[in-house]
């Protein structure tokens, strides 16, 4: 599995950063050729499921995910969310942590993913490209304007 770690600081409050990062459908705006459909009713919590569909036309794949840990930030306590990837193409998990930082908030996105039928020798390039992809996605989710991300 490829381990990916992305850290970003933002001027946003912890609560606003959390809201943006856990608005699942909003992620599609930062992932090329991807749509996201939440398949369970709101509000988000353990058991919430959604599918990221990446591709064009008949060429593509689904990345179904389920929220298995949901602890929004509260009373100065950081927020934690864990997603389990339940697909046949992409498996693994992702963890999102949002905590107070001197200038706003700090986000740590940790993801461990495996691409089906891809030999382990590709773990290093997968992790490298994943850091680029998720780094851009997190920065985009946190920023409607460039000044929001430090």
Partners of 92 in the β-ladder: 85, 113
What is the rounded CA–CA span in Å between residue 121 and residue 119? 5
Q: What is the pLDDT of residue 144?
A: 63
Number of domains in the chain: 1
CATH number at residue 59: 3.30.530.20
Alpha-carbon Rg for the chain, nearest whole angstrom, is 15
Q: What is the pLDDT of residue 145?
A: 58
What is the rounded CA–CA span in Å between residue 150 and residue 143? 10
Task: List the chain pLDDT tens, one digit each, 150 residues.
Answer: 789 999 999 999 999 999 999 999 999 999 989 999 999 999 999 999 999 999 988 889 999 999 999 999 999 999 999 999 999 999 999 999 999 999 899 999 999 999 888 888 888 988 999 999 999 999 999 986 544 454
pTM of the model: 0.90
Structural domain boundaries, residue 53: 2-148
**DSSP string computed for the chain:** -EEEEEEEEESS-HHHHHHHHT-GGGGGGGSTTEEEEE-SPSSP-TT-EEEEEEEETTEEEEEEEEEEEEE--BTTBPEEEEEEEE-SSEEEEEEEEEEEETTEEEEEEEEEEEETT--GGGHHHHHHHHHHHHHHHHHHHH-SSGGGB-
Q: Are 11 and 147 in contact (CB under 8 A)?
A: yes
């Amino acid at each position: 599995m490829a381990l990916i770690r992305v850290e970003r600081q933002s001027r946003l409050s912890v609560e606003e950063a959390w809201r943006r990062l856990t608005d699942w459908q909003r992620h599609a705006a930062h992932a090329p050729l991807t749509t996201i459909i939440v398949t369970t009713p709101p509000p988000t919590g353990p058991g919430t499921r959604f599918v990221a569909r990446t591709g064009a036309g008949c060429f593509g794949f689904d990345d179904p995910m389920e929220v298995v840990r949901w602890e929004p930030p509260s009373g100065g306590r950081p927020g934690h969310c864990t997603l389990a990837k339940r697909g046949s193409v992409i498996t693994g998990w992702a963890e999102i942590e949002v905590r107070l930082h001197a200038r706003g908030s700090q986000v740590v996105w940790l993801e461990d993913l495996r691409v089906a039928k891809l030999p382990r020798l590709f773990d290093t390039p997968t992790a490298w490209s994943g850091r680029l992809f998720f780094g851009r996605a997190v920065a985009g989710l946190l920023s409607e304007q460039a000044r929001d991300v430090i």
